[in-house]
């Protein structure tokens, strides 16, 4: 759940026009250290996002695979 809970809170509580991923990442780093100091188990894959896309040039569509 951690740090996904922090990310979800950021999205739900921040007005859409004020969301800034770079600002969030700068604030999550100290939070990750707090999780570690408290002995919490948390996902360390925060920056390991893998995504691939499929391009259909006939239908002119793109979707994630």
pLDDT (tens digit, 9 = 90+) per residue, 5-64? Answer: 999 999 999 999 999 989 999 999 999 999 999 999 999 887 777 778 899 999 998 887
The span from the CA of 31 to the CA of 17, in Å, is 24
Residue 55's domain comprises 4-64
Per-residue pLDDT, 53:
86
The answer, as to whether pTM is greater than 0.75, is no
The count of domains in the chain is 1
Q: Which residues have C-beta within 8 Å of that of residue 63, sequence separation ≥ 6? A: 53, 54, 56
Rounded CA separation 52/21 (Å): 21
């Amino acid at each position: 759940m951690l740090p996904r809970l922090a990310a979800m809170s950021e999205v739900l509580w921040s007005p859409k026009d004020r969301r800034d991923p770079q600002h969030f990442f700068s604030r999550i780093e100290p939070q990750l250290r707090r999780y570690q100091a408290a002995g919490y188990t948390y996902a360390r894959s925060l920056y390991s996002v893998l995504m691939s896309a499929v391009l259909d040039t006939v239908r002119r569509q793109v979707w994630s695979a």
